[in-house]
Structure 1
Amino acid sequence: MIPTCAAQTPADATSDDDFSSDVLKGMARTPKRVPSKYFYDARGSQLFEQICEQPEYYLTRTELGILESNVADIAAALGPHALLVEYGSGSGIKTRLLLDALDEPVGYVPVEISPSALDASVENLAEEFPDIDMLPVTADFTQPVDLPSPDETARRTVVFFPGSTLGNFEQAEAISLLRTMCIEMGRNGAAIVGIDLKKDNAILEAAYNDAAGVTRDFTLNLLTRINRELDADFDLGQFDHRAHYNALAGRIETHIVSRKDQTVRIGECKVDFARDEAMLVEYSCKYSQEDFAAMAAKAGLRVVRTWMDSNHWFAVQMLERA
């Protein structure tokens, strides 16, 4: 069903209006859809941190283990005097590991759409790395960004994109983002990208359906945010979280599912949901080594190094221009 006032969303949106516009446009689609980037309000970010601690959610600890075991080798492959550009504000241990291991990095450029997250990241890292030029950029990293120049000339620009976040994009979007990396790293640059690898379906589905229900709370918190910020009246008790692995598409597909026929108000709009109707809120794509190499090639990049865990569940890939 189409929201009764979907056409009233503003064209020249501010960031708050972007949320309203994206939600109402998503409600008018078939199937309904809300971008996963809106998961991360303050509560959503807290819940995601809890997800990373769940025993079923192997991704964070596996990638961290790869970095801890191989960070010296990664830093050597990248070389001295690098400018590190991170997509998203990396205030966590992965960023610290790489900055600490690099040979005299000249600067750190976190690209983050949220000013508050960006400020917190830079404040924490600046205390630990006073000799590294901190150059935060408030921007959407999916679009090309004019990168600031550090005081000292960099020998190469390195884009750091951990966390398998690339998998949240559909293939065409992921290739476009890799092309953006290719442009921003320059002729002699490199990228370090974390990707989740294809594996047994049961392992994959358990990671997104933890027994404690934290992922369910995280997913449904999106409705809480819509209620709070867009004056909506979603009844969270009448919606469920569902995540399943689509083997043909090679991705986890996460939906919010209506438990009954119901009508929800979002501001002045009314949106109908049928019983068992599923609203898509996230893709989490999984790759084989061959899948990822082929996708990178379409973006003008090639895989030059790969670091994996002993189970071959996750890979950290180093890319350069083809």
Structure 2
Amino acid sequence: MAESRFTLDDRLPAGYFTDSLHADVRAGLAERPRTLPPKWFYDKRGSDLFEEITRLPEYYPTRAEQEILVRRAPEIAALTRAATLVELGSGSSRKTRLLLDALTAGGTLRRYAPLDVSGAALAEAGEAICRDYPGLEVTATVADFEAGLPLSDEPGPRLLAFLGSTIGNFDPAQRQAFYRMLALSLTSDDVLLLGADLVKDPRVLVRAYDDEQGVTAEFDKNVLHVLNRELGADFDVDAFDHVAVWNAEQERIEMRLRSRAAQTVKIPELDLSLSLDAGEEVRTELSCKFRRESLTAELHAGGFTVRQWWTDPEERFALLMAVPN
């Protein structure tokens, strides 16, 4: 039975979401410049909106990464001979199936171990994968991998996949801490598979984060719906405009919510009153873009050596394999 091959281990401490949200909102909104971390986009509505974004004509990263995986998954399977595929922030595990297919065909894969903060997403994806891959063991873990990597008895070698250029949501200091944590968690037989969006024409980049249909704007504003619901805040969502800006110096897209007028927002749950000027912005996401030389160097500083670097034919996106130094 598929159920006997699927386990779900919740490692999040009691009150995790409430405590994290309170801490992030206090830290991010209490001082200027105002910021909120992007993880709070992803309630059910936000996750559905992001799935819609990945299908938009302007949003190339998902398609570009998938193109690379279609071409390279058999090679990845042959090079790693992984017995366990560990995936961070797996969500719906859609692209993962290309890796699962290749590793299964190669005859080495025994276990799929996805990690995500959403137990519901893990349960839905894990049960589907058990149905579609007879004989594969699925051990899902509800965890915040930024706080540590709960790996233990997975059969090796392990292939740890961190796809979608989620690494771009971290600033340089956060990326270094993340690489070091990963390097300490992996053995010399393990391999990191990392997806990274590349620097390109700023017009292409801005369009990817500010689409014509306004889906990304809805996604960006969804964080205000989350704060209203979870913290009793009184954000007028229509009083904000979605803005996507290319920061050329930092080589990153910044998503921001810009206040249309001077306004005061109350967040009763935190006993916080927030005064925003007309035109004042709340930064809701960083999406850093990468170059081969600098990304290879920062990975090396964080404890990894890049062994393979693949791009899609248009060189929009990179998929790389790295091993602990």
> Shared fold by TM > 0.5?
yes
For 1:137, the equivalent position in structure 2 comes to 141
Question: CA–CA distance in 1 between the matches of 2:101 and 2:48?
Answer: 26
Q: Secondary structure at the match of 1:111?
A: strand
Runs of 4+ in 1 over 6 A off after TM superposition: none
1:174 is aligned to 2:172:
no
CA contact (8 A) 2:197 2:318 kept: yes
Which residue of the other structure, out of 291, 306, 317, is the alignment partner of 1:303?
A: 306
Identity of aligned residues (%): 39
Pairs within 5 Å for 1:29-40: 29-40=31-42
Q: Which amino acid aligns with 2:89?
A: G
Deviations 1:236-256 (A, max 9, x none): 111111111111101001111
Residues 77 and 99 (structure 1), Cα distance of their counterparts in 2 relative to 1, 3 Å cut:
same
Instruction: Write the mapping of 1:241-320 to structure 2, written as runs, cut at 5 A.
Output: 241-267=242-268, 268-320=271-323
Q: Which residue of 2 aligns with 1:234?
A: 235
**Which residue of structure 2 lines up, in the alignment, with residue 118 of structure 1?**
122
Q: Which residue of 1 aligns with 2:151?
A: 147
Q: Which blocks of at least 5 consecutive residues in structure 2 are unaligned?
A: 1-13
The question of whether the paired residues in 2 share the 8 Å contact of 1:111 and 1:141 is answered with yes
Aligned residue identity for 1:76: A
Quote the Cα distance in structure 2 between the aligned partners of 1:175 and 1:66.
25
Q: Deviations over 1:219-266 (max 9, x none)?
A: 001101111111111111111111111111010011111111100111
CA RMSD of aligned residues (A): 1.4
User: How far apart in 1 are the matches of 2:56 and 2:142?
Assistant: 31
1:54, CA displacement in angstroms? Answer: 0.9
What residue identity is the alignment partner of 1:140?
A: D
The letter of the residue matching 1:275 is A
User: Structure 1 stretch 117-126 or stretch 215-224: which is displaced more?
Assistant: 117-126
Using the size of structure 1 for normalisation, the TM-score is 0.92
- 3-state DSSP class of the match of 2:86? strand
* TM-score normalised according to structure 2 size: 0.91
Aligned CA distance change for structure 1 residues 91 and 14 (closer, same or farther; 3 Å): closer
What does residue 3 of structure 1 align with? none
Q: Distance in 2 between matches of 1:203 and 1:48?
A: 18
Aligned residues: 307
Determine helix, strand or coil for the equivalent of 2:274: strand
Look up the match of 2:3.
none
